Structure 1
């Protein structure tokens, strides 16, 4: 009969720092998006006044 081999592994990963970094990136991306919206509105206002 063929032998059946089992491999079991337990992996503990600390992702708290990665999540904190991703949240910081998300906050900065939201700020950048808002700044781009404001710039777009300002450009439209200037174009409308020309």
Structure 2
């Protein structure tokens, strides 16, 4: 089958992309903080369990 099936035009706003990346990085930082907090909690629970 020869020929084109369709055409797609996309307009990209660089400012929107930069803001989106900034937002995703912020979410990533918060996720890392939450993960570290969970590790700290798990560690504290394990230590508390060893004392019992």
Answer yes or no: same fold by TM over 0.5. yes
Q: So what's the TM-score if we normalise by structure 1? A: 0.77
**Higher radius of gyration, 1 or 2:** 1
Stretches of structure 2 lacking an aligned partner (at least 5 in a row): 1-5
Stretches of structure 1 lacking an aligned partner (at least 5 in a row): 1-5
Query: Aligned pairs, how many?
Result: 46
User: Paired residue for 1:13?
Assistant: 13
Bigger share in helix: 2
User: Paired residue for 2:39?
Assistant: 37
Q: Which runs of 4+ in 1 moved over 2 A?
A: 6-10
